Every structure is written in C-alpha cells, then in structure tokens.
Chain A
Amino acid sequence: MLLEVTGLSKRFGGLVAVSKLDLSIREGEIRGIIGPNGSGKSTLFNLISGVYQAEPGGRIVFAGEDITGYPSHEIARRGIARTFQLLRIFTQMSVLENLLIGYHPHVRYGSAAATLGSASVWTEERRLKDEMMELLGFIGLTDYAEIPAGELSIGQRRLLALGRAMAMRPKLLMLDEPAAGLSPVNVDKLLSTVLALKQRYGLTVVIIEHILKVVMESCDTVTVLEHGEKIAEGAPAAIKDDHRVIEAYLGKEMGDAEVRAFLKAS
C-alpha cells in the first residue's frame, strides 16, 4: 500500500469532522472520495497533508514511513502533493513562478550560492524553467507563463493549481474538488489532463469530487464518507447501488434530482 491510514480522527470543539477512519490507497490507483457537504473530505486531506494534526491514536503511513505528526513541508517533500478546495494559488506571482514554487523541493542549489549569485544558480534556474515550461505546455497554459496568476480565469486557475501540485513530482496526488465550478467541456478537459498526467508520471491519485460523473468514470475505487465516517467503499458500479450511499445523498441537499437520477438510473 502506498498510503495506509488507520484510526484517524479530528475534532473541532464538539464536532467530530473525521471519525476513526481507515483508508488504504494502492500504488497506481485512482481513488474517488465522495460524500455530502461537511462529511469530512477536505478535513481528511488536511490531516494527511499535515495542515491539521490528528487526534491521538490515528496513524498515517506513506510508502512504508510513519508520517503521523510531520509538518506540512516534510510530508510534501516525501511525495504527497495536494490541491486546495479554494485553490490557494499565489495570485501575485506569475503562472511560471507558481509552478517553480511547486518545484521548490527539487531545487539543487543552496542558500549561500543563491545569495552570491554564482553561475551554477543561473544554469540550474534555466534548467528548471525549461522543465516547468514543458509542464506548462502539458496543462495548456504556455501563453500565460509571465502573467500574474490572479488574472487567470477560474478554469485556468484550476489547471494551475493542478500544475503546481504536479511540479512537485509527487508519488501521490490529492485533488480537492478539482472540477468544481467548471463547465462540462472544461470538466472533461481537466479530467483528461489528470489522466494524461497520471499515465505520464505514474501517479497515484486521490480525488474528492461532487460531480459524480467524474468519480464514476475515472475512479478505480470509491470511498463514501458521511459525518466523518466511511459508510461504503468499492467499485463505482457497486457504490451507486449501495442503499446507504443513496440515503446519505438523498437526505441532504446534495440529493437533488440530477444526483437521484444518476444514482438510480445509470
């Protein structure tokens, strides 16, 4: 298992956002995580990526190493990249700079060399700019390299957030609602980009998504959360027939006509 989570909990005051959760992610799979609003999906990501500290008793093992309690940057350096639901791209920096920040863990020169402006720094900078331009081409933002990220459209921002995570050259890519707010055409575009990146770099992907079409079509396994607990897990086809899943969705505002139709009919 690439990622092995056991007994993970998180409380906010009296609210239990994630409750004794177990999760195993196999190397190379695409895992979907679904669940109604407030079911603890983003909190799970924040726990794995070290933004929040889990309650005592929880354990996170990544690639054989116990990373429980590690600070965020250490977890990132070990190969876990994540995007944020609210993107959190660096809007005052250029698109290219955003990717370069993602590439930070792989920069090979030291602080002293950088301060003194040694020639090796500039050859290395050139190398990593070339590499990031290639990635920029992959996510289709080449023409925007020099533009402040704050000037991008929402769809382009989502692509940039994905690109920044990819720039980290991760083993595990965690995407928090990457397609939210996109038009159907852009959802397909983003999805195919994710799949292409996965193929190209041999990634493992965990993807939180409300758009069920995305989850059903591209995930190998789907995990369903409700009130911070895992209520179902399995192949997409099996999940959508699970009565607990249907109840979870129908009980909430998420259970609108579209979801109902999709879950029952398709």
Chain B
Amino acid sequence: MEDASISAGDAVRRDLGARPLWSRLHLPWVAGALFLLLLPWATRNAYHHYILNLILINVILAVGLNIVKGFAGQVTVGHYAMAAIGAYASAVFAAKFGVPFWLALPAATLFTGLVGAIVGIPAFRLEGAYLALATLGLAESVRIAIGVTDYLGAAVGFSDIPPPVFFGRPVVDHIAYYYIVMPLALAGIYFSFCILRSDIGRSFKALREDSLAAAACGINVRKYKLLAFLISALYAGCAGSLQAHMAPGFLHPNSYTITEMVTLLLMVVMGGLGHIWGGVIGAAIVTVIYDLTRDYYQYQMAIFGMVIVLTVMFMPRGIGGLIDDYLAKRRFVAIRRAKANAA
C-alpha cells in the first residue's frame, strides 16, 4: 500500500520548491516581523535599545560578509573598511552637503559598492592568505587615511552627523531609529536568501569549491568574484551609513580597526560560514559579548581570534551547522514515525 503520509510530505516539498520565496516563507516571516516590531518595547532601558540597533547593524555587516566569504569563499579582511567608507561617505553627504539621510544612505551604499568592486580586483589573481593580506593592507590604509584627513575629522573624529529626519522630526531616539534599521536588516537577510538560492548563489559556491571546474562550466569566474565583493560592499556601505547617523552622530577611525574586523569574522565563523541564519545569530551573540567585554578592549582581539580558531577546529560548521543537524534529525524522526504509523 502507498505510504500516504510520506508521499504527502513529498508532494508538499515539491510544491514548496515551486512557489516563489516570498510566498514560501510567508508564515515564519510574518510571525518574525511581528516579533521584531514589538521587540524594543520589551525593555525601557535606552542602552538596551542602543545594543539592539548595534546588533541589527552588525547583522547587516555579517550577512554581507557571509556572501563574499561564506558563499563565494573569498578570504577578505577588508569588510570593515567598507563599512568605514560607507559611514564616512554618508557623513560627508549629510554633514557637508546637507543631503538628507534618506538620500545619503542609498548614495553611500552605492558608493561603497563601487569601491568594493574595485577592492575585489586583487581577488582575480590572489587567493587565501594572499588575498587576506592584500585586503588587510587596503583596509588599514583606509583607516589610516581617515585618521590623517582633516576634512574627515582626522584623529579627533567626525561629529555632528545629522540624524534622519522623519516628517520634520529628527530621529535621535534609539527606539525610533530601530524602526529604520530593522526593516533594512530584514531586507538584507531576504536578499541574501534570494541570492543563495538562485543561480548566482550556486555560481558563488562553485567558484568557492573549484574555480577551474566552474570556468569549464561556463561561469565567468572574474565576474562572479567581482559580484560577490560588490554585493557584500553594498551591505557594508548600508551598515556604515546606519552607524554614522545613529545618535550621537559621531564617527572615529578607531572604531574601524583590525579588532572590529576580527569581531566581525567571529560572528560569521561562529554562525557557520555560508549559513545565513547562523550568521544572524552569531552577530547577535558576538555583539553582546563585544559590548560586555569593552573594558578589556586590549585583549579582545587575542581572545576573539582564539575563539575563531577553536570554532574552526571543533565546530567548523558553526551554530548554523548545529541548527541544520537538529532539523535534519527532526525530519528523520518524523519520517520514521510516519512510516511506523503507516505500517
């Protein structure tokens, strides 16, 4: 006799594969959005609201880094410098040219995307540690250049960056700012799912695994490397702009050092390279840990670096791997139960 429960499950699965992503993820997304809409009201503590915004900005950064590093396998250490470029570009647009936040954000995002594509060019010839060194060099030059440029506030910092203005009212309150950051973070996650599950995501994975074989399959390896750098820089640019305009509207080159980059790497590695939800969870956990250990700033890089190494050694698929294993096990148990019931 036909096993009804299992074939029904298969039918659902087949059906799911056919429907567009927005409809496929309908329910979880709606429930999640509702939760996120109400989330800041769970606490009255303004500092918690600030941390919440920080988490969401880091989610955007981590999801973006995951695209270039997790999907496409390009070892870049320059992602944080991209955020710096986005932040300072947005600050210049808004503070020096009076461009409103709503225009400065997309402009800074696009500008950073462009710079990111250029930074991706060394990836044509370099791989692994060499690419990491090249991008590290570029990133450090960006930070140092900012630190000596008076126009950008040099080592004093860039202050008085205007906040977003919403219907004539400046958004300085962290709860209000949350409602700008949160939708952008959600959009970032959504786009990265779309990318991963399309031909672009497949091409990224192919060039990560074997770029020679990918080229033999007709994949323009350079184009896709560039695309990965460009997309991830768009994320970083957007996150940077959000950093710039968040109260108190102040930027300093010291918030874009190699320590911050290591922190960002930890988010993605802990979450599981190439795993989108893992990266989101990693961003949340690491942001909180980073903030709690602020007093020990000088040790952070060493400790975070060590945690990265340990994670790679003992939990190479990260939190995302644990989630996947759990889901696979649950599905296995469900199928076995369905079979037992049918018998």
Contacts and interface: CB of A to CB of B under 8 A. Distances in A.
A51 B212 CA distance: 8
Interface string A40-65: 00000000011100000000000000
B220 A115 contact: no
A227 interface: no
B203 to A, nearest CB: 6
A140 interface: no
Interface stretch (A29-37, A102-110, A179-187, A203-211): A102-110
B206 A122 contact: no
Q: Which secondary structure characterizes the binding site on chain B?
A: helix
B338 interface: no
A49 B217 CA distance: 10
Interface in A114-155: 114-117, 119, 121-122, 125-126, 129
Q: Which secondary structure characterizes the binding site on chain A?
A: helix
A86 to B, nearest CB: 10
B210 A117 contact: no
B204 to A, nearest CB: 11
A251 interface: no
A114 B196 CA distance: 9
A101 B215 contact: no
Contacts of B36: none
Interface residues on B, range: 20 to 34
Interface stretch (A8-16, A91-99, A188-196, A214-222): A91-99
Interface stretch (B16-24, B126-134, B282-290, B307-315): B16-24
Interface in B185-225: 190-191, 193-195, 197-200, 202-203, 205-206, 209-210, 212-221
A72 B199 contact: no
Contacts of B75: none
A122 B217 CA distance: 22
Contacts of A164: 217
Contacts of B213: 84, 88-90
B219 A114 contact: no
Given A88-B210, A115-B195, A101 B20 contact: no
A114 B218 contact: no
In this complex, which of B203, B213, B215 has the most chain A Cβ atoms within 10 angstroms of its Cβ?
B213
A122 B21 contact: yes
Contacts of A109: 198-199
Interface in B157-199: 190-191, 193-195, 197-199
Given A73-B215, A102-B217, 20 more contacts: A72-B215, A76-B215, A76-B218, A88-B212, A88-B216, A90-B210, A92-B205, A93-B206, A97-B205, A101-B206, A104-B199, A109-B198, A111-B200, A114-B194, A115-B194, A115-B198, A115-B200, A117-B191, A121-B194, A121-B198
